């Protein structure tokens, strides 16, 4: 073993020890009843909404025993997300989990402040304009039908693996002009890299993150060279032209491609999974959608409010700020619990009820707010609408066939498995 390999091994051992200690501390406080610590651990994170209720009852701005400041209400979350005095980085330019930062696991736009954020977002935005995306509706419907054709005759299938995941993966691949790729492999990369938002928790997870990032980077580096030699009418060709015009660097382009791919399907996978689970847990609402598939957009918004794919997001004060009666010094991080905001009774009466007739269902922060409002929100909404409509019209007898399995993450909230049965009934297209 070389000296460099020995040093790397010792560094990994040291990192593993630190991560184990951090996990032990948060588990200790979780067992002692701290609601923020419990958000980080099973079984509490699988259903965090009682914890959010407890935190809201303490006030709009709560300090955990872990030291974290969390925002609990719709008003204060929206206020911070829109406030330009808060951003993603500290005054020295650092961000987030130091272990992830050390191996360059940042996710581009998600962790940038203006002017770099504004520059890169402007380059990516045209691909996600609602008018352009609407031209994809027929293709999304075709993909949904193909997937349902494959699974319906089996009687039982996994809604996440066989429908919720491959649908947005195939769509984003078409949007980016990618060749047909292994949907299960991409779903794996999505879970691994989305898990990085929670921070690195083990050396095994860190190795998985490095492997996924390296595989995606290599794929996009090859594709960028192909598009430079033979441009097409796709997003990556547009970004390569911007690269050659000096509007972004090569590293920024690869990072942006990684983000557009992973973020382009990760949110939607969990939106479809969470929304379908909610419908099947509320048979009266599932019956309403089956009777009137035009309620599909209402399902999308109520699912986003009731059980959003992204539960929380961090912001850092760029200057001294008074917030909810508390003085925050420069560089103070705050955690906006956007999922708690969706259950705030001050905005949503009877918030724990899943109701497609709710007039305020779209008043949620599931896609964030302000300058970091989710660029892919129109695409996620369109894909989920098509998915819920297709399930209601083609599989009207869909029901659960076993217990759902939750993903082991706190920021991204979703299901890794949802067994369902169709009773071998498929309505023709």
pLDDT of residue 97: 47
Residue range 49-75: average pLDDT? 96
Distances (CA, A) of 272 to 10, 62, 257, 357, 402: 43, 31, 23, 19, 18
- Does residue 344 come out as left (phi exceeding 0), alpha (psi in the -120 to 50 range) or beta? beta
Taking only the tens place, the pLDDT of each residue in 183-208 is 777 778 877 777 767 777 777 878 88
pLDDT of residue 106: 53
Cα–Cα dist 27/66, whole Å = 11
Taking only the tens place, the pLDDT of each residue in 79-125 is 999 999 999 888 777 665 444 454 454 556 677 888 888 898 898 88
pLDDT of residue 256: 86
Most confident of 44-48, 133-137, 180-184: 44-48
Distances (CA, A) of 321 to 61, 259, 335, 378, 409: 13, 31, 15, 33, 30
User: Which position has the higher pLDDT, 108 or 378?
Assistant: 378
pLDDT of residue 10: 53
* pTM of this structure: 0.90
Cα–Cα dist 314/128, whole Å = 24
Q: Break the chain into its structural domains and give their ranges.
A: 3-421
Residue range 211-234: average pLDDT? 87
Residue 359 has pLDDT above 50, yes or no: yes
Name the H helices within 282-376: 283-291, 296-306, 338-341
Check residue 273 and report its DSSP letter.
H
Taking only the tens place, the pLDDT of each residue in 247-281 is 999 888 888 888 888 877 888 999 999 999 999 99
User: Which position has the higher pLDDT, 397 or 1?
Assistant: 397
Confidence of residue 17 (pLDDT cuts 50, 70, 90): confident
Residue 426 has pLDDT above 90, yes or no: no
Write the CB contacts of 387 (distance below 8 Å, at least 6 apart in sequence): 144, 163, 164, 167, 272, 276
pLDDT of residue 257: 85
Please check whether residue 70 is in contact with residue 36, taking contact to mean a CB–CB distance below 8 angstroms: yes
Residue 424 has pLDDT above 60, yes or no: no
DSSP-based three-state secondary structure for 95:
coil
Give me the half-sphere count of Cα atoms (radius 13 Å) on the Cβ side of residue 257: 30
User: Which position has the higher pLDDT, 166 or 155?
Assistant: 166
Residue range 37-64: average pLDDT? 96
Residue 428 has pLDDT above 70, yes or no: no
Confidence of residue 350 (pLDDT cuts 50, 70, 90): very high
User: Which position has the higher pLDDT, 390 or 251?
Assistant: 390
Residue 347 has pLDDT above 90, yes or no: yes
pLDDT of residue 356: 96
pLDDT of residue 417: 96
Give me the half-sphere count of Cα atoms (radius 13 Å) on the Cβ side of residue 418: 26
Residue range 351-364: average pLDDT? 91
The answer to which of 31-45, 57-71, 164-178 has the lowest mean pLDDT is 164-178
CATH architecture of 3-421: Orthogonal Bundle (1.10)
User: Which position has the higher pLDDT, 396 or 109?
Assistant: 396
- How many helices (H) and strands (E) the chain has is answered by 18, 12
What is the rounded average pLDDT for all residues in the chain?
87
């Amino acid at each position: 073993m070389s000296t460099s390999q020995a040093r790397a091994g010792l560094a990994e051992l040291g990192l593993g020890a630190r991560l184990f200690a951090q996990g032990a501390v948060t588990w200790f406080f979780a067992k002692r009843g701290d609601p923020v610590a419990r958000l980080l651990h099973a079984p509490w994170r699988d259903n965090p909404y009682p914890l959010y209720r407890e935190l809201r009852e303490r006030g709009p701005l709560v300090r955990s025993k872990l030291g974290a400041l969390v925002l609990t209400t719709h008003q204060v979350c929206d206020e911070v997300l829109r406030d330009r005095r808060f951003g993603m980085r500290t005054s020295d330019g650092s961000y987030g989990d130091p272990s992830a930062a050390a191996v360059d696991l940042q996710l581009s736009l998600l962790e940038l402040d203006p002017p770099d954020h504004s520059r890169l977002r402007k380059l990516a935005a045209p691909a996600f304009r609602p008018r352009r995306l609407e031209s994809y509706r027929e293709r999304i419907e075709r993909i949904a039908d193909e997937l349902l054709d494959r699974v319906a005759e089996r009687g039982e299938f996994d809604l996440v693996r066989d429908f919720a995941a491959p649908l947005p993966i195939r769509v984003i691949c078409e949007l980016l002009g990618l060749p047909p790729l292994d949907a299960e492999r991409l779903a794996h990369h999505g879970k691994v890299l989305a898990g990085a938002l929670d921070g690195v928790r083990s050396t095994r997870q860190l190795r998985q993150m490095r492997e996924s990032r390296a595989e995606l980077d290599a794929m996009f580096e090859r594709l960028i060279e192909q598009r430079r030699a033979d441009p097409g009418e796709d997003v990556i060709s547009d970004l390569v032209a911007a690269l050659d015009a000096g509007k972004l660097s090569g590293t920024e382009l690869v990072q942006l491609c990684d983000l557009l791919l992973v973020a382009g399907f990760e949110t939607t996978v969990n939106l479809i999974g969470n929304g379908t689970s909610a419908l099947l847990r509320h048979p009266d609402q599932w019956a309403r959608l089956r009777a009137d598939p035009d309620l599909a957009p209402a399902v999308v918004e109520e699912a986003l409010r009731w059980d959003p794919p992204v539960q929380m997001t961090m912001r850092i004060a760029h200057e001294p700020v008074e917030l909810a009666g508390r003085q925050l010094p420069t560089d103070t991080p705050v955690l906006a619990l956007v999922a708690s905001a969706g259950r705030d009774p001050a905005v949503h009466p009877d918030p724990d009820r899943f109701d497609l007739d709710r007039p305020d269902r779209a008043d949620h922060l599931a896609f964030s707010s302000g300058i970091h409002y989710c660029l892919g929100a129109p695409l996620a909404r369109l894909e989920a609408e098509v998915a819920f409509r297709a399930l209601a019209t083609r599989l009207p007898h869909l029901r659960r066939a076993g217990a759902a399995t939750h993903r082991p993450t706190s920021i991204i909230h979703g299901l890794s498995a949802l067994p369902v049965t169709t009773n071998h009934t498929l309505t023709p297209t």
